[in-house]
Amino acid sequence: MVSDKVTLAHGAGGKLSQELMEEVILPAYGNPLLNELHDGAQVQMGGQVAFTTDSYVVQPLFFAGGNIGKLAVCGTVNDLSMTGAVPRYLSAGLIIEEGFPIKDLKEIVATMRKMADEAGIYIVTGDTKVVEKGKADGIFINTAGIGDVIRGTHIAPQNVKPGMKIILSGYIGDHAAAILAGRHGLTLPDTVKTDCAPLCHMTKAMLEAAPDIAVLRDPTRGGVAAVLNEIAAASNCGILIDEDAIPIHEEVQGVCDILGFDPLYLANEGKCVAFVPADEAQGVLAVMQANKYGRDARIIGEVTEQAKGQVGLRTAIGGIRVVDMPLGNIVPRIC
C-alpha cells in the first residue's frame, strides 16, 4: 500500500478503493463465495432461516483479549446461536474514519477472519465507507448474519415455565471489566480479558441434547440482570437466583467494588443463559461443561410460579432482594 492511513480516496470507488479491497479486505476474509465479487452473495440454505444484524461502536477499539472485529463477528454469531440456529454466512460493513491506520484495520479484519473460521462461517459480502475525520470514532462495524434453524427446536420466552432451571455458562462481567478498567485508571492482571467468543458450537450441542430448551440468551448490554428481567416479564413467571451460585472472578469483583458497579449489570460477550426443563438440566450442563466456553457453567436459579414478572436474588446471608432492570449507562460512583 502506498499510504499507511485510510484516506477518503480509499472510499471513493476508484483505484485506491480497489487497492484497499485487494490488499487488506480480501486477503483477510477471502473465500470462494466472496471472491466472486458480485454485488451480493448467493447462498444455499437448509430450510427455516434465522437472520440478525448488529452494529459495533466499542471504545477502545483494542482491549484486553480482543478488538472491535472480534466483537463484530462473535456478537452476530451469538445472536444467531441464541435463536436456535447454526450460523452460516455474515456480511460486514465497515465505516472508517479518515486517517485510520491501515495496520489497525488489517489487525481488525484478520481477527474477524479468525473468529469466522472458529465459528465455521463465511463472510460473503461487505461494504467499506470512509468518512471525514471527526465523523466516526476510528471505525464502526455492522455485521448481519443468517443461519439454519436447528430442526425440532422452538426458542421463545413464552415457553418458559415454573420449575425450569436457569443455567449460566460461566464467569460474568469479564468483558465489561476489561473495557471499563482502562477508562478509570485501573490496571487488570493479564488473566482478566474479554470473554468474547463464538458460542455456536456449544449452543448446537445443547439443543441437540435437549431440543426443548425454552430460551437461550447472551447477556450482553445490561448483563445477566437485563436478560432475567426480560424473560420474567415475557414469560410472566418469577425468577429466583442464588447470589452464591453466580461465578465472578475476584478481579472483576474488585473492579466493581472500586467503581461501585453491580456485576449482574455488566456486559458479557461470550456467555449464555439457558432456561431448561428441570429433568434435562444436568444433561445440558454436562454438554456445556464439555465445551471450552462452558467449562464453568452452573445452575444459578429457577423459574417460579410466585412473583410473576419479578427477579429475586437470595443473598449470601439469606435475605432476598429484587434484581431490577438496569437503567441506562453504568458510571462510577462514590456513594
Do 215 and 155 contact (CB within 8 A), yes or no?
A: yes
Asked if 312 is part of the footprint of other proteins (rule: CB under 8 A), the reply reads yes
Query: Using CB under 8 A, which of 260, 279, 282, 295 touches other proteins?
Result: 260
Amino acid letter, 186: L
Cβ atoms within 10 Å, residue 314: 16
Contact call for residue 134 and other proteins (CB under 8 A): no
Closest CA to 186 of 94, 130, 113, 261: 261
Cα gap 297→216, rounded to integer Å: 14
Question: Is residue 254 packed enough to be buried (19+ CB in 10 Å), middle (13-18) or exposed (0-12)?
Answer: middle
Closest CA to 325 of 217, 233, 252, 214: 233
Residue in 45, 257, 286, 290 binding other proteins, rule: CB under 8 A: 257
> Whats the size of the chain, residue-wise?
335
Peptide bond into 60 cis (omega under 30): yes
Bridge partners of residue 86, in order along the sequence: 148
Q: Provide the CB-side half-sphere exposure for 193 (13 A, CA).
A: 12
* Choice between 4 and 244, CB closer to other proteins: 244
Pairwise CA distance, residues 2 & 21, whole Å: 14
- By CB under 8 A, name the one of 259, 266, 267, 297 that touches other proteins: 259
Alpha carbons 75 and 198: distance in angstroms, whole number: 8
Question: Which of 182, 254, 283, 309 is in the footprint of other proteins by CB under 8 A?
Answer: 254
Stretch that binds other proteins, among 43-51, 117-125, 155-163, 249-257 (CB under 8 A): 249-257
# chain residues binding other proteins, by CB under 8 A: 42
- If one asks whether residue 35 binds other proteins (CB under 8 A), the answer comes out as no
* Binding track over 273-292 against other proteins, x by CB under 8 A: --------------------
Is 102 near other proteins (CB under 8 A)?
no
The distance from CA 299 to its chain's CA centroid, rounded to whole angstroms, is: 21
Binding mask of the shown chain, residues 316 to 335, with x at each position contacting other proteins by CB under 8 A: xxxxxxx-x--xx--xxxxx
**Eight-state DSSP code of residue 224:** H
Least CB distance to other proteins at residue 99 (A): 21
The least CB distance from residue 238 to other proteins, in Å, is 7
φ/ψ of residue 293, rounded to 5: -90, 0
Q: Does 304 bind other proteins (CB under 8 A)?
A: yes
**Contact residue for other proteins among 53, 191, 236, 282 (CB under 8 A):** 191
Looking only at residues 149 through 188 of this chain, which bind other proteins when binding is defined by CB under 8 A?
181, 184-188
Q: Which of residues 200-219 bind other proteins (CB under 8 A)?
A: none
233 in contact with other proteins (CB under 8 A): no
Residues that bind other proteins (CB under 8 A): 181, 184-189, 191-192, 238, 240, 244, 250-251, 253-255, 257-260, 304-307, 312, 315-322, 324, 327-328, 331-335
